[in-house]
Structure 1
Amino acid sequence: MKTPRPSARLETLSHLKNLKMARSAHAYVRGSTVQFYEWLHSQPGRRLPKGPAVWICGDCHAGNLGPTGDLKGRTDIHIRDLDQTVIGNPAHDLVRLALSLATAARGSDLPGVATARMLEEMMVGYELAFQEDVEAEPPRPAQVKAGMRNAVQRTWKHLARERIENTRPTIPLGKHFWSLSKPERAALKTLCATPQIHTLVTALKGRSNDDKVQLLDSAYWVKGCSSLGLKRYAVLLGIGEGEDQDYCLIDVKQAIAAAAPRVARAAMPRDNGKRVVEGARFLSPGLGNRMLATRVLDDGFFIRELLPQDMKLELDQLSQTEAMLAAGYLARVVGLAHARQMDMATRLSWITELQSCRSKTLDAPSWLWSSVVQLVASHERGYLEHCRRYALQHR
């Protein structure tokens, strides 16, 4: 496949993003974060409960949760995408997750009553995270257990075949990887020679601070959906020498200003790369401690080594029972991330606030149900309009 010149990337990336968002309503929800934030600024969005000011994911859809590894070789389910993290209202994460789960239920052709039950289970799971040890291990539904088994069993070869399509120490140009400009290549070479990168990649269990770190290859990375169009690079490094040389794949991703609403006068880093890393260390410490903020070609970036255990949970074609279990489990993961930032008095106050406004027939609070109904309707309308425009442009 002939890759576009660096100066001609944006048009191709815009087409690819529109294509991905047209594939399903769930894909549209994942890629249309701005529409969600616009709703949060609307009158209905401003009626949400006002939670304590903590670090939130900001884009808490189901695809942004999954297995992640830490520096000591352990694997667990965490929030795994923190581009939009801010100090904000934790209710925003709840509504975003609820919208994602409701859309997934529709994609699995589940009845509307299943969505209602999912929201009930979601609130049960979230609230339980505040009633127990915040580091306690929550029970996992079957599909999450399967995802964890796959994650724990994966090796570098699995990661290489999935991400770079082979296990040789090169990045093949094609559909997923494009050529770099000379300034990009030089900047990445300079970056990989810094002590910060050496410290980052040798901190992983089984590696030594004395290991030599060598740049083997690099490319522009075509990855994600809502982030398509940002600068993103894949860097392949060799750790050590000779037969014992280890390989690692580094994700170098541009950090831009978060669109997620933040609490007024919140004390956050002004540099967007540092904001993402700090938010990650509060919400998903095992992941955040593997990340580094830097600047490349005058733009802010955050960097992490991709581990074989870093995976996205697949929640396609769920049964009603599986959907309810998944909703409760994922909401508890988010609850643990929020709760560890609060003292006991703050947790009690927040849960009391969440438990208000419940009806006699639905255990989920009315503000959550009405928010999801409005958002599903507006996103369904937006999705159909997106598909219509895409079809007209590609007759």
Structure 2
Amino acid sequence: MTTPADRALVGRAARHHASRSSHGLWIPPAHRTDPLAVLASRNSRRLPELLPLHYARMAASPFAFLRGATAVMAADLAHSPRTGLTVQLCGDAHLLNFGFAASPERALLFDLNNFDETLPGPFEWDVKRLAVSIAVAARDNGQPDGRAREAARAAAEAYRTWMRRLADLGELDVWYRHLDTTDLLALVRAGQRGPARTDAGAAEGSGDPAGSPDPSAAADPSAARHRTSLRALEKLTDTPGGRRRITPDPPVLEPVGRIDAAALRRIFIGYRSTLPEDRRVLLDRFRFVDVARQVVGVGGVGIRCHLVLLEGRDSADPLFLQIKEAGPSALEPPLPRSAYEHQGHRVVAGQRLIQAAADPFLGWVTGPEGRHFYWRQLRDVKGASDVGDLTPALLLDHARLCGTALARAHARSGDRIAIASYLGAADTFDRAVADFALRYADRTAQDHARLRAVLASGRIPAAS
């Protein structure tokens, strides 16, 4: 077994493959693949009738484009230096894929919450995607580049700082580590006591006249506590004819035909077999009530997804499950293919490895036409920030929280001691990632503008 000193040497040696400052460089290759062609290559699994809505949502803003362009960024990162320090990547670690969720013990935790693209890969890919999303969101909110750079740098700094702290902890301490609402308050306070802001940031003002630390500064725990299955029951269902049904809301929620409903009931049995025995006992106490086709997110529009309503003790005891198709990760072309033949299994295994407290109803199944799916609980005290509401001060706090949560996630699956040694005590990595974030934000704006131009020309149909 290698010693901590040996692992630290591995991290320092990785600087020869990719220096810390090299992460700030990004120049599009001369023969960069057309981003719209990359997007089109991912459309084979999408329902054709929902493609116009997919492109319309991506065209809404540069940030929306970034959310739907995971494969584009992965193709671009393939041309950047790699540390060779591998972790289980989230694969799509933009700032809206962090939020609150309840643990089985009902504690409110802040963590990553989307794993469709999860795959082993170089740790810096997740850090860069997070930093870019922060920079793009800042620009979308009208913040100057000084603010955007500051927030992107804060995320990288939090990641580096916390990875170094986690490197000093024992294996079980790291495995059981989580971020709850008490941690959030401490982190926000620490951030407000942290290093002075850049001149560009200071000139704009803090955005928080009171200057009071608030655990909801980056995301709202109190709002998350109200996002329960009972609230979902009120919002998503009604009782026509006295029977509880999912309320149609085209194109977001649409009823399925009798044949599709019967097929989903059949694969429900197969999904059950992938759960641990104790979860099967719990699931068996619910009965299948209704199912509807669901449209989710930006990148997920058109991917086969259904919302399933189950009922426990009575109609006031609901369980909402979501079944979503899983294809190869968008990171797979530039990275080695998954060790899991079943793509739903890939998603579930990655989530269980990354999250501090994974969804107890995670499972996978093979559906009609041999398609791979995974199941998860739709809503159980969950919440995320609204990018449009993030002032400069709130974005800075949120960036720190996301960087901290990402470090915790990577420390579970990768060699935290090697990564911490690679990152070091200086801010070289932080500054480089911030530089990359601004450079790639420029590219994202250009790609977004091109998509809008193509949509305007009619070459690609888009929904209004």
Q: Who is 2:454 aligned against?
A: 389
Q: Who is 2:137 aligned against?
A: 104
User: Is 1:216 aligned with 2:292?
Assistant: no
Q: Who is 1:86 aligned against?
A: 119
- Which of 8, 16, 19 is matched with 2:56 structurally? 19
Distance 1:371 1:74, change over 3 A: same
Q: Who is 2:249 aligned against?
A: 174
Q: CA deviation at 1:41?
A: 2.2
Q: Who is 1:260 aligned against?
A: 331
Distance 1:51 1:321, change over 3 A: farther
In the alignment, structure 2 segments of 5+ residues that lack a partner are 1-45, 167-173, 189-213
Q: CA deviation at 1:335?
A: 0.8
CA contact (8 A) 2:219 2:398 kept: no
What are the within-5 Å matches in structure 2 for residues 1-395 of structure 1? 10-42=47-79, 46-47=80-81, 49-133=82-166, 134=174, 135=177, 137=179, 138-140=183-185, 141=188, 142=214, 143-144=216-217, 147-162=220-235, 164=236, 166=238, 169-175=244-250, 176-193=252-269, 196=272, 203=279, 209=282, 212-240=285-313, 242=314, 246-261=317-332, 268-297=339-368, 298-343=370-415, 345-352=417-424, 358=428, 364-366=430-432, 368-393=433-458
- Output one character per residue of 1:51-104: Cα deviation in whole Å (capped at 9) or x when no partner: 521101011111111112233322211110000000111100011011100011
- Output one character per residue of 1:114-139: Cα deviation in whole Å (capped at 9) or x when no partner: 12211221122112222335416443
Q: Report sequence identity in percent.
A: 21
**1:216 aligned partner, one-letter code:** V
Partners of 1:128 and 1:210 lie apart in 2 by: 41
Two-structure CA RMSD over aligned residues (Å): 3.0
TM-score between the two structures when normalised by the length of structure 2: 0.72
**1:19 aligned partner, one-letter code:** A
Question: SS in structure 2 opposite 1:324?
Answer: helix
CA contact (8 A) 2:227 2:381 kept: yes
Distance 1:321 1:41, change over 3 A: same
CA contact (8 A) 1:177 1:221 kept: yes
Distance 1:136 1:20, change over 3 A: closer
Q: CA deviation at 1:380?
A: 0.5
Partners of 1:25 and 1:187 lie apart in 2 by: 38
Q: CA deviation at 1:183?
A: 4.1
Q: More displaced, 194-203 or 134-143?
A: 194-203
CA contact (8 A) 2:75 2:334 kept: no
- Output one character per residue of 1:247-293: Cα deviation in whole Å (capped at 9) or x when no partner: 11110000100121589667721211111111101111422543111
Distance 1:145 1:197, change over 3 A: farther
Distance 1:63 1:166, change over 3 A: farther
TM-score between the two structures when normalised by the length of structure 1: 0.84
Would you say how many aligned residue pairs link Structure 1 and Structure 2?
A: 370
Partners of 2:284 and 2:359 lie apart in 1 by: 23
In the alignment, structure 1 segments of 5+ residues that lack a partner are 1-8
